[in-house]
Amino acid sequence: MAKQVHIRVDDTTYEELNEYSTLSGQSMQDYLSVAIRQLLVKKREDVPRKETDYTFIDLFAGIGGMRIAYERAGGHCVYSNEWNRYSQKTYFANFGEYPDDDITKVNAADIPNHDILVAGFPCQPFSIAGVSKKQSLGRATGFEDKTQGTLFFDVCRILKEKRPKAFMLENVKNLCSHDKGRTFKVIQESLEELNYKIFFRILDGKSYVPQHRERIVIVGFDQERYGKNVTFEFNLPLSEKTPVIRDILESDVSDKYTLSDKLWVYLQNYAAKHKAAGNGFGYGIAPLDGVSRTISARYYKDGSEILIAQNGKNPRKLTPRECARLQGFPDSFKIPVSDTQAYKQFGNSVVVPLMSEVAKLVIYNLRKMDKEIALRKRMTI
C-alpha cells in the first residue's frame, strides 16, 4: 500500500510544477515521486566505494538476487534494469533505487562502464531461417542477425559497446536442449563472436538451500584483454551442513496458507488421475528432513509443487518469507508486495548463496588475471 507524504511549496514552485505536469502529461504526484527516487539514488551513488571493488551491472534484475550475490563477493553495482513494476518496488525497498524499465529502449552507450555484466535473461526462441539462408549463400552472419528480436540481443549489444572484463549469465537448465540445442548454439556463437571465452555448467542449488533447482550458468572473459588462454573452473565449496526444509519453516503460520477442502480434494483427484495414466504429475509434500521440488513463478496459484504437511489439517503452502529462505535470501530482505507477487518474484529468482559462490570465483579469476597483467607491465618498464 502506498504511503502519503504532504509537502509545502511556495507559489512559484507550485506554478512550475503545475506547468511541467501539464506539458509532460505526468501528475505532480508521479513527478515528485520520480524526483525523490532520483535523489535517493544520487545519495546512494555519493557513498564512496573501495578501490578494490569490481563494478557490475544487474540486467533483468528481478528482485536483486544476483545483485546480493555480487555485492557479497566484493562487487559494486553501477546500473540495474528490470521492467516488472512489482519487482521494481521490491528492488527499491531493498537497494534504494528503481531499475530502468525497458532494456530494449536503453542506449548501450548510456550505461555506465563496468567490469562485469550480470544477467538472468529470459529464454526466447531464436529464428534461424534468415541465418540459414545467408549461410547457404556464403554470406557472413553476426549476432545481430542471429539474435535480433530476442532479449539476449540486448545483452550482446551491451557487451559489444561496453566491453566489460567478464559476464555471468543465468538461465533455466533446459536452455541447453531448447529447440534441439539450436538456441544454445546461437548463444555460444554470439558470445564467442564478441571475442569472449565462455564456460558453462548446470548447477544445482540443493547444496546451499533445501531445494532441487538446476540452472545453467554461463561465465565469459574478454579475450581481447586476457588473451586466448583464459581458464575457469566451477569449483564450488559445499555447505558445511546439508540444508533441509525444516530449517526454513516459520514457527507461527497463519491459517490463510492452509489449503481449502475444495482445493485439497482437487489436487488429490488430479494426482490420482495422472498416476492412473502412468505419469508423475501431481502435488508434492516436501520432506521436512529433505529437499523440495523446484519452486516456480506459478506457485501463487495453488502451491502444489511444495506443500507442507500439518497434523489434523490440510497441507499448507509456504509463506512468502519461507519462499525467500528457500531461495537463500536473508531474513532482512524486505517483501513490500502482496503474497501473489511475492510468490511470482521468488519463483523467478535465483538461489542466492549458490550464485554468491560463482560470483566469488569470477571475481577471484579477474583479480588473478589483472595482477598478472599489471606484473607484466611492470616488468616491461
| CB 343, CB 333: distance < 8 Å | no
CB atoms within 10 A of CB 133: 11
Cross-strand partners of 219: 168, 199
C-alpha span between 189 and 191 (Å, rounded) = 6
C-alpha span between 306 and 319 (Å, rounded) = 11
CATH number of the domain within which 293 lies: 3.90.120.10
C-alpha span between 186 and 215 (Å, rounded) = 18
Q: 260 and 205 in one domain? A: no
pLDDT computed for residue 328 by the predictor: 98
Q: What is the pLDDT along the chain (381 residues), one digit of tens a residue?
A: 456 777 776 777 777 777 766 765 667 776 566 566 555 554 445 545 555 589 999 999 999 999 999 999 999 999 999 999 999 999 999 999 999 989 999 999 999 999 999 999 876 665 544 445 445 555 444 556 566 668 898 999 999 999 999 999 999 888 888 778 888 898 999 999 999 999 999 999 999 999 999 999 999 999 999 999 999 999 999 877 889 999 999 999 999 999 999 999 999 999 998 887 777 678 999 999 999 999 999 999 999 999 999 999 999 999 999 999 999 999 999 999 999 999 999 999 999 999 999 999 999 999 999 999 988 888 876
Q: 275 and 215 in one domain? A: no
pLDDT computed for residue 349 by the predictor: 97
Q: Taking the chain, what is the end-to-end CA distance rounded to the nearest angstrom?
A: 62
CATH number of the domain within which 114 lies: 3.40.50.150
Closest CA to 171 of 219, 120, 205: 120
Amino acid at 99: P
Closest CA to 283 of 314, 312, 313, 254: 314
Q: 112 and 208 in one domain? A: yes
Q: 205 and 338 in one domain? A: no
pLDDT per position as a tens digit, 15-50? 777 776 676 566 777 656 656 655 555 444 554 555
Q: 200 and 90 in one domain? A: yes
Cell reading at 363: 571475481
pLDDT per position as a tens digit, 100-120? 989 999 999 999 999 999 999
Q: 202 and 257 in one domain? A: no
Q: Is 77 a catalytic residue?
A: no
Q: 145 and 123 in one domain? A: yes
Q: 79 and 189 in one domain? A: yes
CB atoms within 10 A of CB 224: 9
**3-state SS record for the chain:** CCCCCCCCCCHHHHHHHHHHHHHHCCCHHHHHHHHHHHHHHHHHHCCCCCCCCEEEEEECCCCCHHHHHHHHCCEEEEEEECCCHHHHHHHHHHHCCCCECCHHHCCHHHCCCCCEEEECCCCCCCCCHHHHHHHHCCCCCCHHHHHCCCHHHHHHHHHHHHCCCEEEEEEEHHHHCHHHHHHHHHHHHHHHHCCEEEEEEEEEHHHCCCECCEEEEEEEEEHHHHCCCCCCCCCCCCCCCCCCHHHHCCCCCCHHHECCHHHHHHHHHHHHHHHHCCCCCCCCECCCCCCECCCCCCHHHHCCCCEEEECCEEEEECCHHHHHHHCCCCCCCCCCCCHHHHHHHHHHCCCHHHHHHHHHHHHHHHHHHHHHHHHHHHHHC
Q: 109 and 201 in one domain? A: yes
State which residues form the domain around 317: 245-348
Cell reading at 215: 540452472
Q: 273 and 133 in one domain? A: no
Number of folded domains that form the chain: 3
Closest CA to 341 of 93, 9, 67: 93
Catalytic residue among 123, 156, 176, 323: 123
Residue 228 burial class via C-beta count within 10 angstroms: exposed 0-12, middle 13-18, buried 19 and up: exposed
Cell reading at 207: 547444496
Q: 262 and 313 in one domain? A: yes
pLDDT computed for residue 130 by the predictor: 43
Q: What is the pTM of this model?
A: 0.83
Q: 282 and 220 in one domain? A: no
